[in-house]
A and B are shown apart, each in its own frame.
Chain A
Amino acid sequence: MNLSTNQAQQTYDVLIVGSGASGGWAAKRLSEAGLKVAILEAGRPQSAANFSEHTPKFQLKYRNMAPEIYSKSRPIQSKVYAFSEYTADWYCDDSQEPYTTAQGKPYNWLGRTRVVGGRMNIWGRICLRYNDWDMKAPLRDGYGEPWPLEYKDLAPYYDLVERYIGVNGMAEGLEERPDGVYQPPFPLTCLETHFRNRVKQKFGRTTTLQPTAVLTQSLNGRGACHYCGPCERGCMTRSYFNPVFTTVADAVLSGNCTLITNAMAYQVLMDPDRNRARGVSYIDRNTKETREINGRVVILCAQTQESVRILLNSATPQHPGGLANASGVLGHYFTNHIANSGASGEFQEFGSKPSLGGPVRPAGVYIVPFRNIKGQAPRKDFLRTYGYEGYASVDFNWSAPGYGEAYKKALHTPQVTFSIGGWGETLPRFDNFVEIDSTVKDAYGIPVIKIHMSDGENEDAISKDEVESAAEMLDAAGAKNIRLHPKPAIPYRPNHEAGMARMGSDPKKSILNQYQQAHEIRNLFVMDASGFPTNPSPNPALTIMAVCVRSCDYLMEELKRGEI
């Protein structure tokens, strides 16, 4: 990377670290309003030339069947659902960018992408809204801190984001899961329809299409989905939401945004006399030189652990425990989702001819939370709730007996499986935290984080109920050969980390105010999920974007008023 003299000397209105869900939106919102913005992106440029959603396996050297080739470079990243030979180089090299974990507490930090757009290149695209019941849960059960904002504050921003990114879904009219602004939904299959009806009749629970950020109608020059299947490998018609060809592209096209790639942010630089952030230092990934860039405002959107790492690494004599950490909670209350505990069953009567040909619907179903919801007596075995993601598949009979032409023929006997896995809320606990591990640095000389994360009794109880309830619903729907999928010894950790720089009304208990502005440093914001005081069961990406846009509007008002 060649940083021009102009860039080095220029003071931008706003520096944004990261170009994913929140970074892209912050850049778009602020640059289109006329502010001069620079994005520092740790990864390399991304373009359609890197997309491979139409490339068949046989054109890959190893046809995505040689996991061992990543055993040294990406032993952790290769565990994420979207990882494959197609896109392996979108992810960080684990050996170059390590982290450490507490003894006896393994944690797979997945989805550490190193391309413009970040995790949004590979996200699952599920867009669910939070509601007040989610955000105010600590007021009911006394665990953690409530969100310092309400659904009515977020609703217009949910609308704005959904209209722009394009979400297709089924409006269900449920208080426990607010509807969004939806494009026409993908159709449900017959098996899904059958399951939806039986589960509704028997339990009163709602199975709906996953509201998904994939277009079913053209929008802003992006084409409707063409049903090829693997969105996580890119999309040449731009039908799924990815900042690369939406928010970040809009920001750059505004003429007010400079995108600096291969820039590993290290520290927020402070002006100690004024207690203000003055810029960011970063390491050029190509030359490994340290550089500085100046800005009137700094916004961290680097991903939860990465943003907190920057704040902790930015400690100064005035902020010895990390920036804006007078409360002492920075790095604490780390949360993620309890994912994938559930069950699967067979529905052979819904068999159709299996095929590798399309069309493929890039979404499953979602079972709306039904535990500890409004109007119910709270359960005694766990706090909070969970939803399910479900997927029906018609596969080939790979375990058919025999060989030769008989085996080839037997392969085509359909194997119809319906799998549902829970996505539950973890409680924010002080003893789930990250700290700087001063004994280890990454390849760029930046101290790494040490993660202390484990599940407690509440998470285990949710997992148990996820398994039992999944089996119960499958049985009610007539599934055969039901198999239980309990939580594995090393839990799968989805890309849903949140907390550690939480928002709150009380500066003694939180890092950020409701606009994701540091209580102690007025021109420092953290707009990714680090600010989430809790991590409700719905997938967080939509809320990350909505809260970010709201905070950007506040930032612009404050700048106009000269308050920052």
Chain B
Amino acid sequence: MPENSDASPIGTKSHTSFSTEVISRRELSTRLLGLTAAFSLAGSHPAWGSLLASAGSDGADANWKPLFLRANYEAVQSLAEAIIPGSTNALVARFIDLLLSVDNPARQNRFLEALSAIQTESNRRFDTPFQKLSPTQSDSLLAMVSTAPEGSPLLSSFEELRRWIADAYYSSEPGMMELGWTHNMFFRSLPSCTLPEANL
């Protein structure tokens, strides 16, 4: 074979083939091992990550500091937990901080304005910022802002923040698992329609 400069593509004519039998977790691991050898996959192939990842693997660095939210971090964390329970464990506020740190000024400002609107309402009603509210107070506030009139600044602010929090939570491992994601990526078949008209 002529020398290939830089690199040659993967490729071998004789490699693992697959049939459609049930694939167990153990078989899957075996097959991945086989594929790793056959395809020269590095041990760090992302597929391994999806199989082996554990909850909270995005890290709990004790020295972590907010990149963008800074003084607002606690408020975002409190709001996240109140709006989507489980957000604290899923490090939702950290992830929002990371996203905002690389976002454009318009979106950054929209987020901060929404946060400010909620804080203003919290201060107006309870004379204290959201992160200091009791559970009863925060529930009362969220009940009010989430049912504010359609098109009102308060409802828009609530929805803006909820969108960020939901996106962050449901892209985390615990959030994805709540939505039915599993580590399994190998399925032997697709469901078929069993309605009578499927046979027309």
Across the interface, do B11 and A260 meet the contact criterion of CB distance under 8 Å?
A: no
Q: How far is the CA of A55 from the CA of B147 in the complex (A)?
A: 38
Give B61-103 as 1s and 0s: 1 = Cβ < 8 Å from A's Cβ atoms: 0000000000000000000001111000000000100110011
Of B7, B32, B142, B187, the residue contacting A359 (CB under 8 A) is: B187
A260: which B residues are within 8 A, CB to CB? 4-6
Across the interface, do B198 and A71 meet the contact criterion of CB distance under 8 Å?
A: no
Across the interface, do A221 and B103 meet the contact criterion of CB distance under 8 Å?
A: no
**With known contacts A193-B195, A236-B39, A218–B19 Cβ distance under 8 A:** yes
Of A47, A190, A192, A228, the residue contacting B9 (CB under 8 A) is: A47
Question: In the complex, how many residues of chain A place their beta carbon closer than 8 angstroms to a beta carbon of chain B?
Answer: 85
**Shortest CB–CB separation between residue A508 and chain B, in angstroms?**
41
Q: How far is the CA of A227 from the CA of B95 in the complex (A)?
A: 30
Residue A523 at the B interface, CB < 8 A? no
Across the two chains, which residue of chain B brings its CB closest to A7? B5
B5: which A residues are within 8 A, CB to CB? 1-4, 7, 258-261
**Shortest CB–CB separation between residue A51 and chain B, in angstroms?**
8
Across the interface, do B193 and A189 meet the contact criterion of CB distance under 8 Å?
A: yes
Q: How far is the CA of A255 from the CA of B195 in the complex (A)?
A: 53
Q: How far is the CA of A197 from the CA of B128 in the complex (A)?
A: 61
Count of A-B residue pairs with CB < 8 Å: 239
A residues at B contact (CB < 8 Å): 1-4, 6-7, 36, 44-49, 51-59, 61-63, 65-66, 68-69, 71, 116-117, 186-190, 192-194, 197, 218, 220-224, 226-228, 236-237, 244-245, 248-250, 252-253, 255-262, 353-359, 361, 396, 398, 401-405, 407-408, 411
**Shortest CB–CB separation between residue B20 and chain A, in angstroms?**
6
Across the interface, do B146 and A401 meet the contact criterion of CB distance under 8 Å?
A: yes
**Majority SS at the chain A contact face:** loop
Across the interface, do A226 and B186 meet the contact criterion of CB distance under 8 Å?
A: yes
B residues at A contact (CB < 8 Å): 1-20, 23, 32, 35, 39-42, 45-47, 49-51, 53, 57-58, 82-85, 95, 98-99, 102-104, 107, 139, 142, 146-147, 158, 162, 166-167, 171-173, 176, 178-182, 184-195, 197-198, 200
Across the interface, do B104 and A187 meet the contact criterion of CB distance under 8 Å?
A: no
Q: How far is the CA of A223 from the CA of B34 in the complex (A)?
A: 13
Across the interface, do A250 and B11 meet the contact criterion of CB distance under 8 Å?
A: yes
Across the two chains, which residue of chain B brings its CB closest to A57? B171
Across the two chains, which residue of chain A brings its CB closest to B18? A223
Across the interface, do B18 and A224 meet the contact criterion of CB distance under 8 Å?
A: yes
Across the interface, do A48 and B39 meet the contact criterion of CB distance under 8 Å?
A: yes
A218: which B residues are within 8 A, CB to CB? 17-19
A59: which B residues are within 8 A, CB to CB? 46, 49-50, 53, 57
Across the interface, do A356 and B198 meet the contact criterion of CB distance under 8 Å?
A: no
20 pairs, A vs B, C-beta closer than 8 Å: A3-B5, A36-B2, A44-B7, A48-B45, A49-B41, A52-B46, A54-B50, A58-B171, A116-B9, A117-B9, A189-B191, A221-B15, A222-B17, A249-B12, A249-B13, A253-B13, A259-B4, A355-B180, A356-B179, A359-B190
